[in-house]
Amino acid sequence: MTNEAKNDSLLKVKDLSVSFATDEGEVQALDAVDFEVKLGQTLGLVGESGCGKSVTALSVMRLLPRPMGKINGGSIHFEGKDLLKLTPDEMRQVRGNEIGMIFQEPMNALNPVRSIGDQISESFLLHQDITRKQAWLKSIEMLDEVGIPVPESRVFEYPHQLSGGMRQRIVIAIALACKPKLIIADEPTTALDVTVQSQILDLLQSLKEKLGSSVLLITHDLGVIAETCDEVCVMYAGRMVERAPVKELFAHPMHAYTRGLLSSIPRLDGIPKTELSTIDGMVPSLSELNSGCRFAPRSGLEHSKEQIEKRPGFIEINPEHWVEACPVCLSI
């Protein structure tokens, strides 16, 4: 790869803003979000529901629901080209081919009336110049790769004949069929049991290493983040509040929201029956956001009028450790 030497970033998202038209007027789902995925890296996006994790993933894939969703500004550079400037045809060549996506609910991501062999073949037929027969054989190979036993006969089956974990393996097989350079996994294990979750995470890790791809992993589970990611972005109400390498983030969370999130999860090694620390209130609705520090109402810390109205900067406070610099929420 030629651009590897110059720049090791594969996906660079800059100042991305997305809004949705709703009954209550336009709401801002993403407010100038910045991040990058480096080559061979797993980047985790973590946050609560409504913070904009999935919207980020859909924007990168240019799959925002139309006409409600609109990208208002910013750029998404993938291998040097701006995805937002591509024509729909050009984008179709990227989707599934260079960027693969794994969805949360495998039953919804698969077509119930087509055999799984058909569905995996589809990605080959769309992006590669091969015959149906070859695509079918490659699908069988792909099934073997994602650990489906007896792929030669499974390939004829339909999604309803498989268990949840197997279905997610099929979704992974479809996403990885064309050996994408970037894999976007949107809550890939949320619908699964812990035991199956660990199987799927292991599979994702080994395939990622084999293909040399990068992964953008979206999850709300900090345990999953700790076990799989190299770097983490914490999102809150449409903004990035903190970004750091995983060990750094768990050892020195600097933003009040990150600290609140980390301390409110019950842990297997915690002391049972003690009061869990909580974050007051609830995730704010996107239609009633203030322009300054958005965590202010829940932080339990006194914010001045200016801090609530003026947006704090996103600064690199330590090498590689970025944080939204609201002077009240930030503590070093």
Binding-site ranges for another protein (CB under 8 A) = 48-49, 163-166, 193-199, 201-202, 220-227, 246-247, 250-251, 260-262, 264-270, 272-279, 282-283
Comparing CB distances to another protein, the nearer of 222 and 293 is 222
Min dist. Cβ of residue 231 to another protein (A):
11
Min dist. Cβ of residue 56 to another protein (A):
17
Comparing CB distances to another protein, the nearer of 81 and 267 is 267
- Which distant-in-sequence residues (6+ apart) come within 8 Å of 286 by Cβ? 20, 27, 28, 29, 50, 237, 238
Comparing CB distances to another protein, the nearer of 63 and 276 is 276
Comparing CB distances to another protein, the nearer of 13 and 261 is 261
Comparing CB distances to another protein, the nearer of 16 and 286 is 286
Min dist. Cβ of residue 280 to another protein (A):
8
Comparing CB distances to another protein, the nearer of 179 and 267 is 267
CB 99 within 8 A of CB 127: no
What 8-state DSSP symbol labels residue 95?
A: B
Which H or E element spans position 319?
none
Burial of 311 (0-12, 13-18, 19+ CB in 10 A): middle
Min dist. Cβ of residue 325 to another protein (A):
22
Min dist. Cβ of residue 240 to another protein (A):
18
For residue 122, give both structure tokens: 């589809």
What 8-state DSSP symbol labels residue 276?
A: P
Min dist. Cβ of residue 192 to another protein (A):
9
Say how far apart CA 56 and CA 156 lie, in whole Å: 35
Q: Mapping DSSP to helix (H, G, I), strand (E, B) and coil, where does residue 293 land? A: coil
Which H or E element spans position 162?
none
- Which distant-in-sequence residues (6+ apart) come within 8 Å of 309 by Cβ? 290, 291, 292
Beta strand pairing call for 214-219 and 42-46: parallel
